[in-house]
Structure 1
């Protein structure tokens, strides 16, 4: 059973009937907006992106994009929410493919693999500094869409797996261990993305740093040896 919760819908009430073709076309248009927005955010940052520019990038008028998103923060939220669910699904898949005692290393690896393969999306989700007003608007939407954080839920489930297997002391709260592991994974990913174009003659490879850090954390959370 996957630990990944289903995000709640941001809309209530019955949806108007649409033909399958119309729904597919609408989704294709939205995906074009998402692709253009990711590219623009990577090039120009939050301040340099407007809905008009996103529309122009993929050949649509400003009126067309405003039919899908009320403002820039709404578009950015949808971009991040889409990738957040994809990241959570990647972690859940990694967890489901392992024995309980091995889920945490596998999910830690899956987190870094996803971040490295989706650098622009990861930067948007967790590394882009936003104006306070945009942060508040996105946070409000986030709490409505994700009553339970899907990424955190998978990490906590992995901690519980390892506690049941005797690898993590049971007096540690799963959410505390998950927070520490998430901090470590994000730190590795953020450093790798931030400094990807700089020379690294004195850096150990990411896989080595990942192994050392995860090993240290798991040793710190392990049960004390009997005296």
Structure 2
């Protein structure tokens, strides 16, 4: 996947698993009421995605089987194998779906911000907000350790599906806008600036997700840490004072 994952303890997701099972039941009922093979197939796939998201977050990659995902949804192993060749393919499709959702949230933040000077901070804020509002999805995309063979298989699928990374494209477009407006020194490579900012917002989100249930009396509020970190980075990339 497009960023280094950090192996972290699994998130507590028993309520999420119960919710996934309930959504799967609703999906089956909807399939029964709605006609059309395409709609039926998409409803079944979404039920698998809902169940898999909760199971991967609870048990990690090694603790999930396609059979278990199918059982949670009330489908047979044969049914889920008609949709996914193995659990690596299922994880990829699940994360790719969420990656597109994240990219869309960032694009919307950029479009809504108006002037380029406001767009980059708005997009960085939207990144952290999306990650924290979709903690299980973000954990799977960016923070779950995988065996080497699964990592290679998913990376290959990723390159084929996303010749241009949609999340990185939005971030780099904002950086290019700032450089065009002389808010970032033209001597900096846009890709380097994008990587640094992406690392910063990922770190903010990952820390908050990882330590969600631990006491943090000594921590400044997330909004304060986010403001200080990003302001420092952007000052560092600004053109030198004349």
Q: Do they superpose with TM above 0.5? A: yes
1:195 pairs, out of 184, 207, 211, with 211
In the alignment, which residue of structure 1 is the partner of 2:199?
A: 183
In the alignment, which residue of structure 1 is the partner of 2:50?
A: 35
Quote the Cα distance in structure 1 between the aligned partners of 2:82 and 2:143: 28
In the alignment, which residue of structure 2 is the partner of 1:44?
A: 59
Which stretch of the first structure deviates more once superposed, 160-169 or 19-28?
Answer: 19-28
* Length-normalised TM-score, structure 2: 0.84
Taking the TM superposition and a 5 Å limit, the aligned residue runs for 1:24-103 are 24-98=39-113, 99-103=115-119
Measured after TM superposition, the shift of residue 20 of structure 1 is 7.2
Q: Which runs of 5+ in 1 are unaligned?
A: 1-18
Quote the Cα distance in structure 1 between the aligned partners of 2:116 and 2:236: 19
Q: Which runs of 5+ in 2 are unaligned?
A: 1-33
In the alignment, which residue of structure 1 is the partner of 2:135?
A: 119
Measured after TM superposition, the shift of residue 42 of structure 1 is 1.4
Quote the Cα distance in structure 2 between the aligned partners of 1:152 and 1:111: 11
Which stretch of the first structure deviates more once superposed, 158-167 or 29-38?
Answer: 158-167
Measured after TM superposition, the shift of residue 21 of structure 1 is 2.0
Note if contact 1:102-1:162 (Cα within 8 Å) is conserved in structure 2.
no
Measured after TM superposition, the shift of residue 161 of structure 1 is 1.0
* Length-normalised TM-score, structure 1: 0.90
Pairwise CA RMSD of aligned residues?
1.1
Which structure has greater helix proportion? 2
In the alignment, which residue of structure 2 is the partner of 1:105?
A: 121
Counterpart secondary structure, 1:47: helix
Q: Deviation above 4 Å: which 4+ runs of structure 1?
A: none
